[in-house]
Amino acid sequence: MKQEYTVTVYTENQIGLLNRIAIIFSRRKINIESLNTSPSEIDSVHRFTIVINETEEVVRKLCRQIEKQVEVLKAYYNTNEEIVWQELALYKVPTDVIAEKVKVERLLRQYGARAVVIRHDYTVFETSGHREEIEALIKALEPYSLIEFVRSARVAIIKASHGFHSKLKEFERGEPGEEVVENEFLNQQEGVFSM
């Protein structure tokens, strides 16, 4: 059964990687609902947060395919219950409507919106929350001449995660291996060169 999944991908910051990852989705005809890229808690490691509606089997295969990219360190997938997530939204409304109608001000307080720009012709409000909360405020502001609206992509943190840096430390401890394996071909070549 299809449901919403958040795919978190840790990568090196390389040109063209976003395009290659997007191609993996388009080849499988999977629509990306939301896509965010940002630095992570580790220098030089970036984090992609991708939201899709798919079955778990498809998402699992997709993560394995993404991990085949050279610059990808790890890809995880989670349901909405396994993450803490938010989206940011900006709403532009006429300033005269806000000034004249106290009900709008009460409405904005109810949704936790705050003014970020106030001009004589318009006011821009900002709020964050889940998509349903953001869309509810759009509907509430439509009768008050909503001029413009924009919503960011999802940002998410995995609830059960101890951070990718701890995983990276595990990888570093495991590599290189304890045993030193001699390359027989190199040893033979060195013998030839030393003669």
- CATH code for residues 84-151: 3.30.70.1150
| pLDDT digit string, tens, across residues 133-167 | 999 999 988 888 899 999 999 999 999 877 766 76
Enumerate the CATH 3.30.70.1150 domain ranges in the chain, comma separated. Answer: 84-151
| pLDDT digit string, tens, across residues 38-89 | 998 888 889 999 999 999 999 999 999 999 998 999 999 999 999 999 999 9
Enumerate the CATH 3.30.70.260 domain ranges in the chain, comma separated. Answer: 3-83
DSSP letter (8 states) at residue 120: S
Domain 3-83 class, CATH top level: alpha beta
| pLDDT digit string, tens, across residues 11-45 | 998 888 999 999 999 999 999 999 999 998 888 88
